[in-house]
Structure 1
Amino acid sequence: MEIDFNKNSDGLVPAIIQDFTTRQVLMLGYMNEEAYNKTVETGKVTFFSRTKKRLWTKGEESGNFLNLISVKNDCDNDTLLIKVNPVGPTCHKGTDTCWDETNESSFGFLSELESVITSRRVNADSENSYVASLFEKGINKIAQKVGEEAVEIVIEAKDNDDNLFLNEGADLLFHYLILLQAKGFTLKDIVKVLEGRHK
């Protein structure tokens, strides 16, 4: 891999650190060629500390190492994306990331939808909320709705109306998210099962 350490007069390139599993950005550091080589050799992310003026392996004092998974170069060969498995919090202030964010997997809009479902369940205004009314009716009704939506998507799969097929898929997924919460689970629990099978 070609890395342009000479682009800047200090011989440093930015290194963006990303959690391999959650895809959250954890921190930004800087590497010179020696730090990069040590990172690859040891499997522990090592930076060049601009304040200490020396190599610095993340976790050398705290034990919160960044175990190397992969390194990618950007299109200009002057910025690195380093994917890691972190051991403990990454920030020196004790937070998961240097932006004080929780290092959790996010499924984009589906995570937002899970939050909405949780809010409707907790606030339980069943007169104005379809979700709240389902939770009020109990697990049997929720499971029944998932079954109905599953049958409908099977029927639409046999036809040629892509719009109806996708809408039934959305209905099925929506009701499945409700059922997961009714059973005390979330998408993260399903992902763990799938990851376990993948190994």
Structure 2
Amino acid sequence: MPPSKKNANRQTVKKAKRKAAKKKTAKRKTAKKAINKEPEVEPTVVVLFFAHWCGHCQSMYPEWEQLKKEYAAKNNYVFREVEHGKIENDKPNLEKEYDLSPIQVQGFPTLVKFHPHKEIEYYESGERTKDNFMNWLNAEAKQPDAPSNIFHNMYGGYKIPHTGKVKTYSKNKSLKKQK
């Protein structure tokens, strides 16, 4: 083979080796990115059930807006609002979308948060200020298999996570299943 063809073959082989090396490096970088990528975290959902005619809702709403603005940068929170009159349509959709047991709305405003795979929590801390809301949001979420005091006091039992069923104790201490 003439020397010029040998040179051309060598250069072609070198180019092919460089391309293969680049592909391997790219694959390694992609694999490293996949390993270093943080797992997706399901957001904490905070829902406000309110009515425009409610005085408590009207006085609380500016605090709610400040809270939403402050937490908007944090991508692990989702804020939703459900207006009186739309509750009958929106509440079942929320329960279905997030696989929840029924949400109890017995007055206005009702503020609810739920973490993935944890119990629904209602805001019951009294004063409706942004700081109190922040403390409530930052508090550790309750585990679903631990009975909440309110639920325990009202029904003498606990909720079974993700089933919507309630187990209660009768007088003879045996478990009864209820729907």
**TM-score of the pair, normalised by structure 2:** 0.26
Pick 1 or 2: higher relative contact order, CA cutoff 8 A, min separation 6: 2
Higher alpha-carbon Rg: 2
